[in-house]
Amino acid sequence: MILTVDGICMKFKEKVILDNVNLSVEKGEVVSIVGPNGCGKSTLLKILSRNLSPQKGNVCLHGKSIKHMKPKDLAKKLAFLPQSRSVSSDFSVETLVSYGRYPHLGFSNRLKAMDLEIVDWAMDKTRVLELRNRTVNTLSGGEAQRTWIAMALAQRPDILLLDEPTTFLDISFQLEVMELIKELNQTLGLTIIMVLHDINQAVRYSHKIYALKNSTISHHGHAHQILSHQFLSGVFNIDADIFTDDKNNCPYIIPQRVKKL
Ligand SMILES: Nc1ncnc2c1ncn2[C@@H]1O[C@H](COP(=O)(O)OP(=O)(O)OP(=O)(O)O)[C@@H](O)[C@H]1O
């Protein structure tokens, strides 16, 4: 296992958010975390990236607890793109992407030729090379998302954590970002753990799905086998019809109604 989460408990004040959460991710897997608003998905990703410390439990990367890892060592293995980014986007695309190299720089904090090559490689992979001199805050939503993913790629991590990578994007940019995620997984073998709201995207683009409900993992399993009426009603409180997408060889749902509690 590349990452294991064992018995995570998290409270904010006296409110229990996560209670004995366990998950395991194999190298090269795409794993989605789904669940209703406020169930603790982002909190879990923040714990996986050590942006939050849980009251109980352990996160292990390559079998080693992340608790005592040096920040630079952790950042070389794991890149996290949170939902809200506090960094000013008044930089050029190239400058922002180059920040991904910081965990790898020596004392001088100077980018060497190899770092610049990796920055170019990351921009190429995410198709933002031609935007390199543009200021990030002039980009479209899809271009900006690709630039942030390029920055995370420049870290050369083993694992990429993405919190709702398609939120606020129109349907074509959503497809573009999801296809990029698939390509990065297939061509680089990158392990990807993401929070998604769109259950159809989660099913189509993931190997495994974990559903959070009532502070714990209520369901988990193979993405193409997890959908059932019991799952949709138990996790999201909806009735939905389930069909098969023959082209992509996976199921999809059409939500019909919210169930009465
Ligand atoms: N720093 C904090 N202090 C207090 N409560 C918090 C804090 N961060 C999150 N919460 C609460 O914890 C719960 C889980 O929040 P979280 O953002 O993890 O949920 P989520 O599943 O990602 O939600 P959404 O789908 O709406 O993005 C929510 O009730 C939220 O208000």
Ligand 1 close to Cβ of residue 38 (< 6 A): yes
- Distance (angstroms) between ligand 1 centre and the Cα of 30 equals 23
Three-state DSSP class for residue 197: coil
Residue 118 falls inside a structural domain: no
Confirm whether the ipTM is greater than 0.85: yes
Give mean pLDDT, residues 128-147. Answer: 91
Q: Are 191 and 2 in contact (CB under 8 A)?
A: yes
Mutate to test the pocket of ligand 1, among 43, 47, 199 (most ligand atoms within 8 A of CB): 43
Indicate the length of the chain as a whole number.
Answer: 261
Residue 191 falls inside a structural domain: yes
Residue 222 falls inside a structural domain: yes
- Nearest Cα residue to atom 9 of ligand 1: 43
Give mean pLDDT, residues 71-79. Answer: 94
- Nearest Cα residue to atom 25 of ligand 1: 37
Residue 198 falls inside a structural domain: yes
- Distance (angstroms) between ligand 1 centre and the Cα of 28 equals 28
**pLDDT above 70 covers what percent of the chain?**
98
Structural tokens at position 8: 């995570």
pLDDT at 257 over 90: yes
Mutate to test the pocket of ligand 1, among 17, 161, 166 (most ligand atoms within 8 A of CB): 17
Q: Sort 246 into a burial class: Cβ within 10 Å, 0-12 / 13-18 / 19+.
A: exposed
Whichever domain contains 242, its CATH number is 3.40.50.300
pLDDT at 84 over 80: no
The Cα 146–Cα 127 span in angstroms is: 8
pLDDT at 107 over 70: yes
pLDDT level of residue 124 (50, 70, 90 thresholds): very high
Ligand 1 close to Cβ of residue 155 (< 6 A): no
Residue 121 falls inside a structural domain: no
pLDDT at 62 over 90: yes
The Cα 94–Cα 102 span in angstroms is: 14
- Torsion of the alpha carbons at 67, 73, 76 and 79, rounded to the nearest 10: 30
Ligand 1 close to Cβ of residue 51 (< 6 A): no
pLDDT at 88: 63
Total domains present in the chain = 1
pLDDT level of residue 83 (50, 70, 90 thresholds): confident
pLDDT at 87: 58
pLDDT at 76 over 70: yes
pLDDT tens digits, one per residue of 203-256: 999 999 999 999 999 999 999 999 999 999 999 999 999 999 999 999 999 999
- Distance (angstroms) between ligand 1 centre and the Cα of 39 equals 7
Give mean pLDDT, residues 146-162. Answer: 95
Reading phi first (left if > 0) and then psi (alpha if -120 to 50, else beta), residue 52 is in: beta
pLDDT at 89: 65
Residue 56 falls inside a structural domain: yes
pLDDT at 180 over 60: yes
pLDDT at 167: 86
Ligand 1 close to Cβ of residue 34 (< 6 A): no
Which ligand 1 atom lies nearest to the CA of residue 40? 18
Residue 110 falls inside a structural domain: no
Degrees (nearest 5) of the Cα angle 151, 153, 159? 125
Mean pLDDT of the chain: 94
pLDDT at 65: 96
Residue 50 falls inside a structural domain: yes
Domain with 236 in it: 3-84+157-258
Ligand 1 close to Cβ of residue 123 (< 6 A): no
**pLDDT above 90 covers what percent of the chain?**
84
pLDDT tens digits, one per residue of 14-33: 999 999 999 999 999 999 99
pLDDT at 86: 57
pLDDT at 144 over 60: yes
pLDDT at 178 over 60: yes
Give mean pLDDT, residues 68-94. Answer: 86
